[in-house]
Amino acid sequence: MSSRKAGRGRSEAAPRVWIVSGPSGSGKTTLCEALLRERFWRRRLLKSVSYTTRPLRRGERAGRDYVRVTPQRFRALKARGGLLESERIFGSYYGTPAQVLDDARRAGKDVLLCIDVKGAQTVRRRLKRRTASIFVVPPTAEALTQRLKKRSTEDKKAIVTRLKRVKIELSYARFYDHILVNGDFREALRHLKSILRSERGEETHVRSFGKTDR
């Protein structure tokens, strides 16, 4: 088979979807951003940018972190099947564009999806074996609290609300293929890359930080 035909076959293949979840302050978004700063992973992964109805936070950029839409447009997107999953969190709506699957297929890449636990369940249910899931957790509850306070993007009341949600989010960890403890960031990033390589068949062994029993 010629390289031209081989390339076309790869681009027509259904993309693998890598789901990364974890409670607020776990560092899941920062890990994904660091991963995609590396050329090796940019060539293999297409980051999905979620729609949201909430205002962008300080430091977030439209089109890179989220695409902000009105509640009316969000409902219209959902009604016509334009969302792979959608959830309401703290009064705002979030959703994954279904178009990302076609975009990734044409680019010959897999999808990197950083979403909440309920959205992740929906994606896993719809795409089944095409997904691999990673749940990011902080080393301790104290570390999580400190991270949320350092973000300084929300008031104390909002932080307390998020901490209450943590217990709910942590209860979903058992449904994930991998649990990743984010204590030391460099080590966590190295572990994340090792998990991805293993699932892609590029490594034959995953240490104890990786696969969960199902």
Is residue 138 exposed (0-12), middle (13-18) or buried (19+ Cβ within 10 Å)?
Answer: buried
Residue 211: the pLDDT is: 43
DSSP 55-106: PPPTT--BTTTEEE--HHHHHHHHHTT-EEEEEEETTEEEEEETHHHHHHHH
Residues 16, 134: Cα–Cα separation, whole Å? 14
Residue 1: the pLDDT is: 38
Residue 203: the pLDDT is: 53
pLDDT digits (tens, 9 = 90+) for 169-214: 989 999 999 999 999 999 999 999 999 998 877 654 444 344 443 3
> How long, in residues, is the chain?
214
Pull the structure tokens for residue 114: 């950083």
Residue 206: the pLDDT is: 41
Residue 166: the pLDDT is: 82
Which residues of the chain fall below pLDDT 50?
1-10, 204-214
Is residue 40 exposed (0-12), middle (13-18) or buried (19+ Cβ within 10 Å)?
Answer: exposed
Residues 79, 67: Cα–Cα separation, whole Å? 18
Residue 165: the pLDDT is: 80
Strands 83-89 and 92-97: antiparallel
Residue 50: the pLDDT is: 96
Residue 107: the pLDDT is: 97
Nearest Cα to Cα of residue 120 among 51, 45, 64, 173 = 173
Residues 123, 117: Cα–Cα separation, whole Å? 10
Domains and CATH numbers, the chain: 12-48+109-199 (3.40.50.300)
